[in-house]
Structure 1
Amino acid sequence: MSSDNQRAQFQVVTGNESPAIYHQFSPALETATLLFQMAPGLLVPYEFGGVEYEIDGYRKSAWIGTTLMISPIYDVVGPDAVKFLNSICVNDFTNLTTKGLRHAVICNDQGQVLTDGVVIRIGEDRYRTYWLNPPIDYFLKTSGMNVAGEDLSGTEYFIQIAGERSLEILEDAFASDLHDIKFATHRKASMDGKEVEIIRLGMSGNLAYEIHGPMAEFDEVYRKIWNSGQKFGARKLGMHAYNLFNHTEAGFPNIHLHYPLPWFESGEDMAKYMLANPQYSMYNLNRKLVGSVGEELQARFVTPYDVGWGFLVKFNHEFRGRKALEEIANDPPRTAVTLEWNGDDVGAVFATQFKPGEEACESIGAESEGMFTSNTFRGEMAYRSNRVLYNGKDIGISSGRIVSYHYNSMISLGFIDPAYAKEGNELTLIWGTPGTRQMNIRVKVARYPYNGDFVRNENKDVEEIPRHK
């Protein structure tokens, strides 16, 4: 682009024939790469100024992103709404108010995570869920309860803002005081007559919010928030930076990114349901397993205890997978940690690609593997998991490696035996898919979350932040 006065646009078209939305970005960030993903007809930005530039925005100011526009949105409605949600989720929804939310987790009979997401109560018998479809639709249709499901994907926009100055930016955009919104709560607010829902939640680890509203109003709301963000030095965030780079650094293991989901291994009826829908069947038909774990699927599936969510499991009600999780809770075989990779060993693997006559190892560059990164363009859903050993003994797996630019390191998440999860422990990671050259990489158990050098959202006292006047 030749001038700072130029503007480039791309089109976001929802899958339910809503009006086209144009999303504008600053030419100072060069061009944005577009990525088609999940929601039919929906284009979202893949990158603006590159991962290293974008991801660092939350530290001193904020980043503003729209990646969650791809989220499945599914309302559970009816007299048995709470009864139904309690029957399929490890969480208890009995006392959920219209201001609260739940990080909901659905498991299969083996206690393995089928999906996880957010549930908010928006009416007397209406609960809005994000990321719980398609398993929630399958279970609802076979529940026999007095409850209905409504797929509203593509009708609602998501704007995420995360960072130390995110509240100041929002208050500037809304011209109102939003200090009362506590962590994991939500309420309505108004912007120029447009009603929006603001949720205090995010994936950077520090102060963060989500803004939701009707898709037709997205453009005006987004532009106003971005204009306010520019006053405080905010940066735009694309899908590439949002996914692995937030979830790995901030210690939030994520579906499809750090582990696959057992949709096709949880009973014949569920498998048939998934395969009958092309949007879901792609997760099985194009599933490619890479990394030293090889073709072993069961080792890649996780339980809430493997990924650090044991505190979400409430045994005060009956739910799918309860029996298995009760046994696991007594002695969890794995827990989540950050693994910090030895730089010399990473360099040695990388160097094999430049030695003629020598078999090269698989690429270990900055481009992280995962469904939202380079693998998408190859028409496959590649899940990379590597074996983690202690003195030759398999103790778990590693996934979601990234270059942590701010800390000048390569890291991943590990789901390992709790006996070896002490910070500072030195372990070995096996790099290379079976059938290719494999090499050992020394890894060290590091702080979890890795970017824990600021106050977490749940602990942030926003009274320290100036109020809008």
Structure 2
Amino acid sequence: MGETTMTLDATRSLQDLIDANPDLITYFRNETQAPHSRNRPGPSPVPAEFTNWRDEQKAWRETAVLFDQSHHMPELFLKGPDALKLLMKLGINGFSTFGPGKAKQYIACNPQGQVIGESVLQYLAEDSFELVSGMHLQDWVHYNAICGDYDVTVTRDLQTSANTEGRTFFRFGMDGPNAETIFQSVVEGAAPDIKFFNTAKVRIAGCEVMALRHGMAGHKGVELSGPYADGDKVRAALLEAGREHGLKQAGRLAYFSTPSEGGWLAYPVPAVYTSPELRGFREWVSADSWAGKAQLSGSFVGQSIEDYYLTPYDMGLGRLVKFDHDFIGREALEALADAPQRRKVTLVWNKADVATIQGSLYQAETPYKYLEMPVASYGFPQADEVCDQNGNLVGMSGFTGYSGNEAEQLSIAVVDAAYAETGTQVTIVWGEPDGGTAKAQVEKHRQFKVRATVAQAPYALAVQQMKRSGIGKTAA
């Protein structure tokens, strides 16, 4: 049985919430406040901008950028002789070469092969692991550790907004063409050559720091973590070393615009609400969990919450599925392996249509849905209809944002395979039906049909080149 330092609110479970709201889609579209919503109380420790988001975006393409990830990402620590056994039972990934000092993009599915969530999994030491980000998945791992027959202990370190005791670790992400030069210069002694998704311990400003090779912008980026009390000293050393190399600190706006270029389909609707086998989990996890705070937005309105579920193949993560061990969802994924029906793509918005949307703000009639920059998505998650030239629904679009590096409005979509070829013309329905939902951040507006062109995901040339060269090959 697992132990934990986290206190769960057992007064109302996710199952209680579902029972009280049989029309779950309407509830999630109108009544919830997302975990990272801008209208949640309390200021963020990370400013929206340090300078301006335009220059901060350019920094990861032209020089180097420093992100402060210390506050928005929860962490889970798993220890004990059965820790790896538990992770293998839940994870679709392969583990044959997984060992201390390595990391992977960890995915877990329900028995139907639909994604519950993903996280960065780090193998810290024998029988010791860390999950970084991915609250939906962390809750699922926690539940199985507590309720399964596993000799493990669980410790949770929640994001700052939900953490009354303060964060345990700082976490900085540094990326861009000059990031490796800065890393080499700031490390005391000889800096190690770290392979992608591997870790090494280094010293910076007299502090022990864990370095994870992990790039989002097509370069040899690095994620640095250590005791929270050391964060200011490490940050100061990085900024000093990066001064001559154009290192810029980036705020929330630039950070949350990275998926548009990089093609990361983050936080899909967790596939936990309907599976009969997951009822025990729904009765265990709080209604106040992230699964209970989904905030659906956009023009797509499903008939069932299952219409929003995705498989690893839909998300472009089929390469991570390894059928060399028994795991939850294996049978369903084996059946889907040879015939995935959807693919992840980038949609490049027609610039004239974008201008029309923005221009409607200066007209007398009700404007089209406001297209905020650099991140235009207004829910958690966003799902806009993607249609063919005849108006037939062929997919869902989300993570809409502006890339100054590409001078394009981009979104990440999952579309039917027949419409996934580069150059295919589709239409995105921008804005919610009936003038908008009751979400506080949604103004009264009109819908607009945006012409879009299908492109690769990731769209950014630098990221595509990185993946072709093998530098950014995601660890399985």
Give the TM-score range, shorter chain: 0.7 to 0.9
Q: Could you tell me how far apart the structure 2 residues matched to 1:235 and 1:193 are? A: 23
Q: Could you tell me how far apart the structure 1 residues matched to 2:201 and 2:93 are? A: 25
More strand by share: 1
1:50-449 superposed matches below 5 A: 50-131=52-133, 132-153=137-158, 154-243=167-256, 245-255=257-267, 259-266=268-275, 267-275=278-286, 278=288, 280=289, 283-285=291-293, 287-296=294-303, 297-356=305-364, 358-366=365-373, 368-370=375-377, 381-390=379-388, 391-436=390-435, 437-449=446-458
State the one-letter code of the partner of 2:309.
Answer: F
Q: Could you tell me how far apart the structure 2 residues matched to 1:112 and 1:46 are? A: 34
Q: Could you tell me how far apart the structure 2 residues matched to 1:121 and 1:156 are? A: 16
CA RMSD, 1 decimal:
2.8
Instruction: Assess, with a 3 A threshold, how the Cα gap between structure 1 residues 141 and 98 changes in structure 2: closer, same or farther.
Output: same
Q: Could you tell me how far apart the structure 2 residues matched to 1:35 and 1:385 are? A: 16
Asked whether the equivalents of residues 91 and 314 of structure 1 are also in contact (C-alpha less than 8 Å), the reply is yes
Q: Could you tell me how far apart the structure 1 residues matched to 2:143 and 2:376 are? A: 30
Once the two structures are superposed, what CA deviation does each residue of 1:189-208 show, in whole Å capped at 9, x if it has no partner? Answer: 12344221111003223220
Instruction: Assess, with a 3 A threshold, how the Cα gap between structure 1 residues 403 and 274 changes in structure 2: closer, same or farther.
Output: same
CA drift at 1:248: 1.7
Asked whether the equivalents of residues 183 and 457 of structure 1 are also in contact (C-alpha less than 8 Å), the reply is no
SS in 2 for 1:167: helix
Instruction: Assess, with a 3 A threshold, how the Cα gap between structure 1 residues 195 and 382 changes in structure 2: closer, same or farther.
Output: closer
Q: Could you tell me how far apart the structure 1 residues matched to 2:98 and 2:151 are? A: 19
Asked whether the equivalents of residues 300 and 385 of structure 2 are also in contact (C-alpha less than 8 Å), the reply is yes
CA drift at 1:175: 3.7
Asked whether the equivalents of residues 344 and 413 of structure 2 are also in contact (C-alpha less than 8 Å), the reply is yes
CA drift at 1:449: 1.4
Range with greater deviation from structure 2 (188-197 or 407-416) = 188-197
CA drift at 1:461: 7.3
Once the two structures are superposed, what CA deviation does each residue of 1:425-449 show, in whole Å capped at 9, x if it has no partner? Answer: 1111122212133332111012331
- Give the aligned length: 413
Q: Which runs of 5+ in 2 are unaligned?
A: 1-5, 8-35, 159-166, 436-445
State the one-letter code of the partner of 1:200.
Answer: R
Identify the match of residue 469 of structure 2 among 438, 451, 459: 459
Instruction: Assess, with a 3 A threshold, how the Cα gap between structure 1 residues 306 and 99 changes in structure 2: closer, same or farther.
Output: same
Asked whether the equivalents of residues 201 and 457 of structure 1 are also in contact (C-alpha less than 8 Å), the reply is no
SS in 2 for 1:383: coil
Instruction: Assess, with a 3 A threshold, how the Cα gap between structure 1 residues 194 and 36 changes in structure 2: closer, same or farther.
Output: farther
Q: Which runs of 5+ in 1 are unaligned?
A: 1-14, 17-33, 376-380, 463-469
Asked whether the equivalents of residues 81 and 152 of structure 2 are also in contact (C-alpha less than 8 Å), the reply is yes
SS in 2 for 1:44: coil
Once the two structures are superposed, what CA deviation does each residue of 1:244-290 show, in whole Å capped at 9, x if it has no partner? Answer: x21121112111xxx332344453332333325x3x25x534x4322
Normalization by structure 2: what TM-score? 0.80
Q: Could you tell me how far apart the structure 2 residues matched to 1:198 and 1:76 are? A: 20
SS in 2 for 1:262: coil
Asked whether the equivalents of residues 120 and 128 of structure 1 are also in contact (C-alpha less than 8 Å), the reply is yes
Q: Could you tell me how far apart the structure 1 residues matched to 2:74 and 2:380 are? A: 21
CA drift at 1:349: 2.9
Structure 2 counterpart of 1:31: none
Once the two structures are superposed, what CA deviation does each residue of 1:102-151 show, in whole Å capped at 9, x if it has no partner? Answer: 11011122222222111121111111221242221112112212222222
CA drift at 1:226: 1.3
Asked whether the equivalents of residues 412 and 457 of structure 2 are also in contact (C-alpha less than 8 Å), the reply is no
Q: Could you tell me how far apart the structure 2 residues matched to 1:461 and 1:175 are? A: 25
Once the two structures are superposed, what CA deviation does each residue of 1:148-197 show, in whole Å capped at 9, x if it has no partner? Answer: 22224421111110011111101211143335211111111123442211
CA drift at 1:89: 0.8
Q: Could you tell me how far apart the structure 2 residues matched to 1:52 and 1:197 are? A: 30
Structure 1 counterpart of 2:33: none
State the one-letter code of the partner of 1:333.
Answer: Q
SS in 2 for 1:98: coil
Q: Could you tell me how far apart the structure 1 residues matched to 2:407 and 2:43 are? A: 38
SS in 2 for 1:223: helix
Once the two structures are superposed, what CA deviation does each residue of 1:73-99 show, in whole Å capped at 9, x if it has no partner? Answer: 212211111111010111133431212
SS in 1 for 2:433: coil
Asked whether the equivalents of residues 349 and 361 of structure 1 are also in contact (C-alpha less than 8 Å), the reply is yes
Asked whether the equivalents of residues 201 and 210 of structure 1 are also in contact (C-alpha less than 8 Å), the reply is yes
